[in-house]
Amino acid sequence: MDSHVLARAVVCIFLLCMQVPVEVGGRIGSVKLDVVNVGALFTVNSAIGRSVKPAIMAAVDDVNSDSGILQRRRLNLIMSDTNCSGFLGTIEALQLMVDDVVAAIGPQSSGIAHVISHVVNELHVPLLSFGATDPTLSALQFPYFLRTTQSDYFQMQAIADLVEYYKWREVIAIFVDDDYGRSGISALGDALAKNRASISYKAAFTPGAPTSDINDLLDGVNLMESRVYVVHVNPDTGLRVFDVAKRLGMMSTSYVWIATDWLCSVMDSSETVDPEKMDLLQGVVALRHYTPDTDLKKSFSDRWKKIKEKESLNFNSYALYAYDSVWLLARALDVLLSEGDNISFSYDHKLRDTNGSSLHLSTLRRFDQGDKLLQILTTMNFTGRSGQIKFDLERNLINPAFEILNIGGTGSRRIGYWSNHSGLSVTTPETSSMENVTKSANNQHLYDVIWPGETIKVPRGWVFPNNGKPLQIAVPYRVTYKEFVTKDKGPMGVKGYCIDVFEAAVDLLPYPVPRTYILYGNGERNPSFSNLVYDVSQHKYDAAVGDITIVTNRTRIVDFTQPYMESGLVVVVPVKRVKSSAWAFLKPFSWEMWFVTGAFFLFVGSVVWILEHRTNNEFRGSPRQQLITVFWFSFSTMFFAHRENTVSTLGRLVLILWLFVVLIINSSYTASLTSILTVQQLSSQIEGIDSLVSNNVPIGVQDGSFALNYLIDELNIAVSRIKILKTQDEYLNELLKGPKKGGVAAIVDELPYIQLFLSNVNCEFKTVGQEFTRSGWGFAFQRDSPLAVDLSTAILQLSENGDLQRIHDKWLSKDTCSAQSNQVDDNRLSLNSFWGLFLICGIACFVSLIVFFCRVYCQYLRYAPEDADDGLEDPESVGCVKGTSRTTSFKDFVDKKETDIKEMLRRKSNDSRRESRDGKQQTSQNSDVQLSSPS
């Protein structure tokens, strides 16, 4: 039933029962009253009510004893007990309206607040609720409803951040099925969705449900996958949930229990610690409204000890909010009265009796200053016992914050805070605000939690469901490449490489995974893998196992595991054998390489001849013999068959470098010639994906492969050019026929399929170009499935321990073909590959020649005879013959033997010394003759 209809029905029943006479006259004049009626509406005998009642009474007493407020007027508190009944609570609320209250404090029930809000909207009476946390009590729908506590919207944001902090993805909500429970859990679902988490199941029970109903509810919940429970129930009955959970063994290791603020309200208001109750709550994480430890709060705590009307030794946060609500109203009334307004009520013409109705609606009167009082209330700003009292534009208290407690032993300990500004933190919200800490993933911190089972290890948050229902796993019913996955007559019904990888990964999980494989497809053609993934996303299957390529559009709807095989699209074309020709031996080198190599053979041979000619008899003789020697020595070094020895240092240096160059050239020639004699050439002009796209030739793709959509959507290839191939025989036939005979010029498919295909056809075809996509194969699961994460870890373990390779070798280990097709021109060696060697050898030759000629020229300068007497007596000597005056030329000098030159220089040196000695003796004799002659 709609809450508005319910409100009108309750009003009618209430007024009909009262039979209050109708007073005609539309308006009561403004009257200055000594007292102002204020209503209070809550359940007195409840965990919240036992704290709220003395707090409200104390606040009224404090206001009335303060002469500086309300201009000597007093607050008259009219208290009503709702008795935990929606119907009675509504009747009591209507009674308050008859008593001409200017505002009502309460109610604590969100359900009653929904009904009463319609009434106060009509009568313009502000409703200040310290306990109705339902987020749907919005300011737009209920303008006279003003929440003086924190909305469950923020509490659920805090729980969602907790779930994200511990990396859980699903929770089960246990809640009471009323406005308070449903609206709170709805806000939780919205908050979780922002963090890519969700409520997997909503377990609701009716208010006041017997223990047997709660037992049946939790018994069913315990069979489900998620182990994270959020409990959002009423304070007075909530402990029964944990009592039942304890008896069912649900308070042990691997379970997570998160309680909203109701649990701390019960614990804070308890007079003594009940060991039996605390035993039920070990490891529970609970939220509590954060109220700063100010002097005002401490004074309220001291005041609490002196309050006589209190029904409990302790108070909870709702007592602070209720106390501040009274002061909020008192301050607003003081502002209203100080501006010269008087409190007055008037009859509402909408509520006049019509057509002789027996419902006395006219007994309800409207508060004339209600609009202005409401406006003043929303603009108030002061510091109360619960903290700063100020409202935002949506009429929520600013700076929402919660404490996060971990219950253990005989009490609880604080593990951190949550605030709307900084998120999860171990520092107080005031400190985080002063330090300007923002809400980011790096700033989220909490102290360690002792979870149920007395462990500090964060629970995984889920287990495989214990309800006997195995995973429904879809497996593609392949027609081609059955090595990857196919139908089997064994117990599993399927087999193949992909199945073995999945089974090995599941065996590594620390928990059992019951599963059933379901073939996807009719067995006549390969199924559409995109449709398979889509069906998983639509919850038709729990997962899909097979050769499923991880592509972008699929990752948007499902979760994939870690890739267990690399893949990518490649192009396959036909090839043909090249017949060797009679001149095949010339193909390893380009003509430039042949020319330079031959020139260097002659050049190096000439250099060695020059360096060895003066010292080595094997390089001397007639011009004809020397020319033959140069040619023989030059080309015999190609086979290291030269028989001439080198005796000069420079000659040996040049020869060593040249033999190294010859070694490199011989090795390269041999390798290139071997490759050319066994090479395969393309039978088409397709050299890769670019040339395939540009040529208007037909292309083959595998049936069911994502390559079809990729070629059309990404490469803009016309659909008419693409031919679907359903079997490997079609692969073979279409490639052999070629485009001229109605076949295809090339096939585009994933590399694992192509490698298997090439090995099956004895490498009669080749791939060209490079892989033009990079992807992999993975197992697909429904979004946010925790099993995908655990299996990813297992696949990495398979890769590290070598099991993944062993499974690959079992199913796919065959003779593999070369990845690329080689062409003759690609194997022909050019000068660019060897110019460095030739440069080094040439430089060495030139340096050796320069050193050689410099040394010879120096010898020539020392030799250079001046006349015939200076010549040698040997008639065969080149230079000058005895009795002649002709000098020796440099050309003839170079042609002489090194030993002869050295002998000439030695004899010339001895003659010079002898002539010098004879000259000195002659000079001495001449001097003696002159001295002996007469003067």
**pLDDT for residue 776:** 93
pLDDT digits (tens, 9 = 90+) for 143-190: 999 999 999 999 999 999 999 999 898 999 999 999 999 999 999 999
Percent of the chain topping pLDDT 90? 42
User: Does CATH number 3.30.70.270 belong to domain 471-566?
Assistant: no
Q: If you search the block for the tokens 């050193």, which residue do you land on?
A: 851
- Tell me the pairing of strands 256-259 and 285-289: parallel
Q: Is the pLDDT of residue 879 over 50?
A: no
pLDDT digits (tens, 9 = 90+) for 491-508: 999 999 999 999 999 999
**pLDDT for residue 652:** 74
What element of type H or E holds 235?
none
Q: Compute the average pLDDT of residues 767-778.
A: 88
DSSP 65: T
Strand partners, 367: 345
Higher confidence at residue 856 or residue 141? 141
Confidence of residue 884 (pLDDT cuts 50, 70, 90): very low
Confidence of residue 6 (pLDDT cuts 50, 70, 90): low
CATH fold for domain 152-293+400-425: Rossmann fold (3.40.50)
pLDDT digits (tens, 9 = 90+) for 391-416: 999 999 999 999 999 999 888 999 99
Q: Compute the average pLDDT of residues 289-300.
A: 92
Mean of the per-residue pLDDT values of the chain:
82
**pLDDT for residue 24:** 31
The domains of the chain are located at 35-148+295-390, 152-293+400-425, 471-566, 568-578+680-774, 584-678
Contact 421, 399 (CB under 8 A): yes
Q: Is the pLDDT of residue 120 over 80?
A: yes
Q: Is the pLDDT of residue 583 over 70?
A: no
Strand partners, 78: 39
**pLDDT for residue 861:** 72
Confidence of residue 353 (pLDDT cuts 50, 70, 90): low
> For the CA atoms of 115, 120, 121, 126, what is the dihedral angle to 10 degrees?
-120
Higher confidence at residue 896 or residue 874? 896
3-state secondary structure of 240: helix
Q: Is the pLDDT of residue 854 over 80?
A: yes
**pLDDT for residue 919:** 64
Q: Do domains 35-148+295-390 and 568-578+680-774 have the same CATH topology?
A: no
> For the CA atoms of 621, 625, 630, 633, what is the dihedral angle to 10 degrees?
-100
Q: Which of 228-232, 422-426, 837-841 has the highest mean pLDDT?
A: 228-232
User: Does CATH number 3.40.50.300 belong to domain 35-148+295-390?
Assistant: no
Q: Compute the average pLDDT of residues 746-758.
A: 91
pLDDT digits (tens, 9 = 90+) for 892-917: 666 666 666 766 767 776 777 677 76
Higher confidence at residue 519 or residue 888? 519
**pLDDT for residue 585:** 66
Handedness of CA 733, 735, 740, 743 (dihedral sign): positive
Confidence of residue 532 (pLDDT cuts 50, 70, 90): very high
Q: What is the CATH number of domain 568-578+680-774?
A: 3.40.190.10
- Tell me the pairing of strands 198-205 and 486-487: unpaired
Tokens of 502: 């999945």
Identity (one letter) of the amino acid at 238? G
Q: Is the pLDDT of residue 868 over 50?
A: no
**pLDDT for residue 848:** 79
Contact 765, 518 (CB under 8 A): no
Tokens of 182: 């449903």
Cis peptide before 107 (omega within 30 of 0): yes
Q: Is the pLDDT of residue 827 over 90?
A: no
Strand partners, 285: 258, 406
Q: Is the pLDDT of residue 927 over 90?
A: no
**pLDDT for residue 894:** 65
Strand partners, 571: 748, 768
Least-confidence region, from 83-87, 257-261, 360-364, 871-875 = 871-875
Higher confidence at residue 867 or residue 544? 544
Tokens of 175: 């809640």
**pLDDT for residue 872:** 42
Higher confidence at residue 565 or residue 109? 565
Q: Compute the average pLDDT of residues 828-853.
A: 76
Q: What are the E-state strand segments in 373-527?
A: 381-384, 387-390, 401-408, 411-419, 423-425, 471-476, 486-487, 494-495, 515-520
Percent of the chain topping pLDDT 70? 78
Strand partners, 423: 419
Q: Is the pLDDT of residue 481 over 60?
A: yes
Confidence of residue 641 (pLDDT cuts 50, 70, 90): low
Higher confidence at residue 666 or residue 817? 666
**pLDDT for residue 867:** 36
Q: Compute the average pLDDT of residues 765-770.
A: 85
